[in-house]
Amino acid sequence: MRTKKVGTTGRFGNKYGSRVRHMVAKIEANSRAQHVCPQCLRLTLDRQSAGIWKCKKCNVTIAGGAYQPTTTATKIMKGEVEAFVEEVAPVVAGASAAIEETQEAVVEVKAPAKKKAKAKKSKEAAAEQAENEAADESE
Ligand SMILES: [Zn+2]
């Protein structure tokens, strides 16, 4: 039963002590409140069960904290990931540019070789034709 002092934790009666009931009441109130959906940015994110949060509007289901969608650990991890991406993204971009340059160079090197091969083949074919014609004439 709800009480004025400890709200929803009034259901515990006088058990567990006032301090614990106040702490639990605060956590429960926060977990039952609606939170901002990370996808549509509306105040429609609801707790489904421990760690599972679902948006009423866009139906997105996300994993989060047990009693709140984002925890301190989430914030720290996001910061680490962003710092890593900022550090690595330029390196990756430079590497991909180098790879493209190498591929272009390889294509440039390969192209003349093909032309030469074709030229050789056509010369050989011409020589063979000439021999065949000479053989035909001699007969
Ligand atoms: Zn949403």
Domain boundaries, the chain: 72-130
What is the Å distance from ligand 1's center to 23 Cα? 29
What is the Å distance from ligand 1's center to 9 Cα? 30
Who contacts 80 (Cβ-Cβ below 8 Å, separation ≥6)? none
* pLDDT at residue 12 is higher than 70: yes
Confidence of residue 114 (pLDDT cuts 50, 70, 90): low
* pLDDT at residue 118 is higher than 70: no
Q: Which residue has the tokens 């430079």?
A: 94
Confidence of residue 112 (pLDDT cuts 50, 70, 90): low
Concatenate the DSSP letters of all residues of 47-99 into one string. EEETTEEEETTT--EEE--SSSSS-HHHHHHHHHHHHHHHHHHHHHHHHHHHH
pLDDT digits (tens, 9 = 90+) for 22-77: 999 999 999 999 999 999 999 999 999 999 999 999 999 999 999 999 999 988 99
* pLDDT at residue 139 is higher than 60: no
Q: Percent of the chain beyond pLDDT 70?
A: 90
Dig out the tokens for 65 from the structure.
């904290």
What is the Å distance from ligand 1's center to 79 Cα? 23
What is the Å distance from ligand 1's center to 62 Cα? 10
